[in-house]
């Protein structure tokens, strides 16, 4: 599938499960803030939404048809607009926001910017995330 700027991927739902948050915190190998408990209504720790995009099948990476051996993560910028809490049901809405090509020392580089919005149950955009995927060659 050839993707173009503006291409929207199907929305998907994601339940902010306390068990997944505990897995995330454990994987980081850090102690949560004193008094933090992964209970319904507690705030989601920073970085957790990156975990959402990598949990299960990813239609964005599948559609790009990039060779994973030549693909790197180019960075992320997150804009927090409303709190996300454990127990929330998020609608995840990704789209291709930019595609640029450049020549580098190792050949052609393709930069794909994906903007993903995370919406709360009432339709409020809680987080807007811009991530860059880079393909070499």
pLDDT above 90 covers what percent of the chain? 49
Structural domains of the chain, ranges and CATH numbers in brackets:
12-136 (3.10.129.10)
| DSSP state, residue 12 | E
d(CA 24, CA 120): 21
Residue 37 above 80 pLDDT? no
| pLDDT band at residue 105 under the 50/70/90 scheme | confident
pTM as predicted: 0.84
Task: Give residue 2's pLDDT band: very low, low, confident or very high (50, 70, 90).
Answer: low
Q: What is the largest CA-CA distance in the chain?
A: 50
CA–CA distance, 132 with 100 (Å, rounded to integer): 11
Tokens of 100: 């640029």
What would the pLDDT profile of 40-69 be if each residue is shown by its tens digit? Answer: 998 888 788 877 665 555 677 777 878 888
Average pLDDT for residues 123-127, to the nearest whole number?
Answer: 97
């Amino acid at each position: 599938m050839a993707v173009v700027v503006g291409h929207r991927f199907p929305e998907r739902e994601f339940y902010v499960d306390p068990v997944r948050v505990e897995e995330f915190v454990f994987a980081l190998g850090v102690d949560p803030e004193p008094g933090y408990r992964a209970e319904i209504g507690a705030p989601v720790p920073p970085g957790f939404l990156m975990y959402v995009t990598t949990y299960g099948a990813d239609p964005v990476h599948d559609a790009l048809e990039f060779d994973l051996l030549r693909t790197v993560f180019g960075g992320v910028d997150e804009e927090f607009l409303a709190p996300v809490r454990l127990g929330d049901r998020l609608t995840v809405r990704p789209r291709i926001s930019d595609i640029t090509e450049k020549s580098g020392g190792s050949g052609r580089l393709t930069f794909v910017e994906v903007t993903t919005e995370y919406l709360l149950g009432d339709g409020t955009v809680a987080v807007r995330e811009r991530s860059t995927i880079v393909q070499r060659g």
